[in-house]
Structure 1
Amino acid sequence: MKPVDVRAMTEDQLKDSLLKLKEEQFKLRFQQASGQMENTARYGQIRRDIARIQTVQTERNSQEEQGS
């Protein structure tokens, strides 16, 4: 997921994407613990995507607070 794509999302889309990514991260954590994880790089990608989404949410919240 590219930063441009994340910034184009609405708040609801961001929340949905964040929830899906956290669920996938949870599943991958169990796969890694049991030794069944095939694509180890995917875990890092998910972490970065979660961070991107949270960063955009924080930026939007701080802009709203400054605007009020």
Structure 2
Amino acid sequence: MDAKDVRGLTDEELREKERQLQQELFNYRFQMATGRLENPMLVRKTRRDLARVKGIRREAALAKKTL
């Protein structure tokens, strides 16, 4: 997921994407703890995507505040 793709989403879509990524991260961590995760890089990718979404949400909130 690229930042430009995320920037094109509405605020509601960003919140939903954040919730979805948090759920995915939980599931991947659970699978890793039980030894069932086949690709451990999914945890890293999901963490980065989640941080990207949170950063863009914060950026949008600050932009609204300054207007």
Q: Same fold (TM over 0.5)?
A: yes
User: Which amino acid is the alignment partner of residue 62 of structure 1?
Assistant: L
Residue 19 of structure 1 deviates from its aligned partner by: 0.7
Aligned residue in 2 for 1:13: 13
Give the Cα–Cα distance (whole angstroms) in 2 for the partners of residues 5 and 50 of structure 1: 13
Mapped pair 1:39 → 2:57 = no
Distance in structure 2 (CA, Å) of the matches to 1:52 and 1:44: 12
SS in 2 for 1:63: helix
Query: Which contiguous aligned blocks of 4+ residues in structure 1 show a shift greater than 4 angstroms?
Result: none
Aligned-pair identity in percent equals 33
RMSD: 0.6
Give the CA deviation at 1:10.
0.4
After superposition, residues 43-58 of structure 1 pair within 5 angstroms as 43-58=43-58
- SS of 2:38 mapped into structure 1: coil
TM-score normalised per structure 1:
0.94
Unpaired runs of at least 5, structure 1? none
In the aligned structure 1, how far is the partner of 2:54 from the partner of 2:61? 10
Kindly state the Cα deviation for residue 30 of structure 1 after the two structures are TM-superposed: 0.7
Letter in 1 for 2:17: S
Q: Give 1:18 shift.
A: 0.7
Paired residues, number: 67
